[in-house]
Amino acid sequence: MVLRAALIAALFVAIAVTTQASPAAADDEMQWQFYEYSESNGNGAKSASLIYGVPETDDVQVMGSCQTDARTGTMASRVTFGADIGDLSLGKDASLRFSGGGFEQTLKGTVARTDAEGLSGIILDIGNDDPLWTAFAEKETLDYMVPGYRAATLDLANGRDNIAKFVGACRSYDRAAEGADAGVDTKTPGRSFSPEKEAFESAKELGTVAAFEAFLSNYSAGFYADLARAYIDEIGGAGKAAPSPTPLPPTPKPQTAQDLRPDPSCKDLSREKSGSGNVPTKITFVNESGAYRSILWIDRTGHPKDYAGLNSGEEVTLDTFLGHPWMIADGPGDCLRIVMPHPGARIVTLTGGAAKAPPAPAPKKAQPAPKTVTPKCRPRSILIDGKCILRRNAASYCGPGYRLAGNKCVQGYEEPKRRRLLPDWQLEGLRHGCAPGLAWNAQEGCHEND
């Protein structure tokens, strides 16, 4: 779409200063690629691109870009995520939900759709300090989906370095643009602006080895370079995050019977809700039912929340916790089954039809048939076929399924002839004494209808 066209155009108007793909990946595997460009006219404008796809092919799942210009400033990172969008129309507002490893976030965007070369999915304007970038730096994988449609997965483990470079570049553009007019450090008035310091601060905020290595690839010597190397030594290993002042998460509690209980019945849906379990696990749903199925998480208040939609033959893997129930529903949203996660992982195969219905209540004792009461007829009536018929009408009465034909009752029912309704002008003529077929009005009296 627009991002891909902009990227191709940039190759002709810019000089690439960094071109890198994730290492140790086969040529036909999806890789995270980072590119940074400086305009050849020397006005200081820069742009950065992030691509997740098979190098040198059209097989692309993610395309992102950010840019800076001393004349126009900068914008948030604009990223298109290839996604199942069904029949959503181009430019329509839509949500994209990210989840995985305890992280969950929903961002608002717009639908991108192309029938030719390009990427169809959801376009997001993501702030350069958005929590999603932190999740990209910390998680091994993340799932994302347009609610109600099929989910997709991002493999982040081998792309952290290039993701960190992209985020660091976008943040440095943002800070440079803030101080471009005055040429000063926006955080400390009166102090000159330092791109090297701002890049270091960006790496420090991400707090990963990949982020500091990205800084060192651009600034390999000096005071901040020495600090970056010290931070890498302190973190103590690739991919580990720097110590955070935020409180550590609570130690997981031992598994309880509530965490490991069997699957509930749909008749108990009103009493189901997610507990306080904090033992992470995964649950995979495989749809072999031959029909569409919805996957809903029952939250801590007992309300089902839509997480995935599966057509027959599809499957999806979701992150969850022990003690968190999931509901399977049909297209209209009726509960078919409730399943509970298992330690480690669980695979749930959805087959045809609904779950077994609760046992039918025991049949009630048969009540004796009511006694037939023979009606008593008045003196002027006689009883025929259980009905009281006036004596004077008895000769013309025929029983059920018979009709009177002459003086005999014959079998069969004949629908009475319907009365044909005349048009208004004929009715009006007849009311004024005109011959059939003539109309009437006050000026002409009876006359032929025109």
Mean per-residue pLDDT, 254-259: 52
In a domain, 372, yes or no: no
Rank 93-102, 233-242, 393-402, 421-430 by mean pLDDT and report only the highest. Answer: 93-102
The whole-number pLDDT of residue 80 equals 93
The whole-number pLDDT of residue 152 equals 92
Tell me which residue of 124, 131, 17 sits closest to 65, measured CA to CA.
Answer: 124
Q: 224-233 long-range contacts, Cβ below 8 Å, gap at least 24?
A: 224/196, 224/197, 224/199, 224/200, 227/200, 228/200, 228/203, 231/204
In a domain, 229, yes or no: no
The whole-number pLDDT of residue 345 equals 86
Q: Which residue matches tokens 């404008």?
A: 45
Is 19 within 8 Å of 35 (Cβ atoms)? yes
Q: Are residues 177 and 34 in the same domain?
A: yes
CA geometry: angle at 313 spanning 310 and 314, to 5°? 40
The whole-number pLDDT of residue 361 equals 60
Q: Are residues 23 and 163 in the same domain?
A: yes
Q: Are residues 112 and 7 in the same domain?
A: yes
- Number of folded domains in the chain? 4
| Average pLDDT value for the chain | 75
Q: Are residues 157 and 9 in the same domain?
A: yes
CB count within 10 Å of CB 129 equals 14
Mean per-residue pLDDT, 385-407: 69
- pLDDT of 213 > 70? The answer is yes
The string of pLDDT tens digits covering residues 344-380 is 889 999 987 544 444 556 666 667 766 666 777 877 7
Q: Are residues 439 and 395 in the same domain?
A: no
Q: Are residues 440 and 387 in the same domain?
A: no
The whole-number pLDDT of residue 232 equals 83
Which residues fall within 8 angstroms of residue 220, CB to CB, at 6 or more apart?
none
Is 172 within 8 Å of 130 (Cβ atoms)? no
Between 122 and 360, the more confident residue is 122
Q: Are residues 276 and 182 in the same domain?
A: no
Q: Are residues 401 and 343 in the same domain?
A: no
The whole-number pLDDT of residue 179 equals 56
The whole-number pLDDT of residue 364 equals 66
Q: Give the dihedral sign, CA 418/422/427/429.
A: negative
- pLDDT of 248 > 60? The answer is no
CA geometry: angle at 131 spanning 199 and 83, to 5°? 110
In a domain, 54, yes or no: yes
Q: Are residues 54 and 91 in the same domain?
A: yes
- The confidence band for 105, taking pLDDT boundaries of 50, 70 and 90, is very high
- pLDDT of 24 > 50? The answer is no
Distance from C-alpha of 40 to C-alpha of 60, rounded to nearest angstrom: 28
Amino acid present at 4: R
Maximal CA-CA distance, the chain:
124
Among the candidates 142, 166, 193, a domain finishes at 193
Rank 104-108, 158-162, 361-365, 372-376 by mean pLDDT and report only the highest. Answer: 104-108
Which residues fall within 8 angstroms of residue 372, CB to CB, at 6 or more apart?
none
In a domain, 249, yes or no: no
In a domain, 203, yes or no: no
Among the candidates 178, 193, 208, a domain finishes at 193
In a domain, 154, yes or no: yes
Q: Reduce the secondary structure of the chain to three states and give it as a string.
A: CHHHHHHHHHHHHEEEEEEEECCCCCCCCCEEEEEEEEECCCCCCEEEEEEEECCCCCCEEEEEEEEEECCCEECCEEEEEECCCCCCCCCCEEEEEEEECCEEEEEEEEEECCCCCCCCEEEEEECCCCHHHHHHHHCCEEEEECCCCCCEEEECHHHHHHHHHHHHHHHHHHHHHHCCCCCECCCCCCCECCHHHHHHHHHHHHCEHHHHHHHHHHCCCCHHHHHHHHHHHHHCCCCCECCCCCCCCCCCCCCCCCCCCCCCCHHHHHHCCCCCCCCEEEEEEEECCCCCEEEEEECCCCCEEEEEEECCCCEEEEEEECCCCEEEECCCCCEEEEECCCCCEEEEEECCCCCCCCCCCCCCCCCCCCCCCCCCCCCCEEEECCEEEEHHHHCCCCCCCEEEECCEEEECCCCCCCCCCCCHHHHHHHHCCCCCCEEEECCCEEEECC
Is 350 within 8 Å of 329 (Cβ atoms)? no
Between 210 and 240, the more confident residue is 210
- pLDDT of 246 > 50? The answer is no
Report residue 423: phi and psi, to 5°. Answer: -65, 160
- pLDDT of 396 > 70? The answer is no
Mean per-residue pLDDT, 24-30: 64
- pLDDT of 434 > 80? The answer is yes
The whole-number pLDDT of residue 417 equals 57
- The confidence band for 247, taking pLDDT boundaries of 50, 70 and 90, is very low
Is 304 within 8 Å of 297 (Cβ atoms)? yes
- The confidence band for 146, taking pLDDT boundaries of 50, 70 and 90, is very high
Q: Are residues 308 and 388 in the same domain?
A: no
Q: Give the dihedral sign, CA 165/166/168/169.
A: positive
In a domain, 204, yes or no: no
Q: How many residues does the chain have?
A: 450
Mean per-residue pLDDT, 326-337: 89
In a domain, 53, yes or no: yes
Q: 127-134 long-range contacts, Cβ below 8 Å, gap at least 24?
A: 127/76, 127/77, 128/66, 128/76, 128/77, 128/167, 128/170, 128/171, 128/174, 129/171, 129/205, 131/105, 132/98, 132/105, 132/107, 133/163, 133/167, 133/206, 134/206
Which range (13-22, 103-112, 169-178, 334-343) has the least confidence? Answer: 13-22
Which range (36-45, 159-168, 371-380) has the least confidence? Answer: 36-45
Q: Are residues 167 and 308 in the same domain?
A: no
Domain that holds residue 158: 2-193
The whole-number pLDDT of residue 284 equals 92
Q: Are residues 72 and 149 in the same domain?
A: yes
User: Which CATH number goes with the domain that contains 280?
Assistant: 2.60.40.780
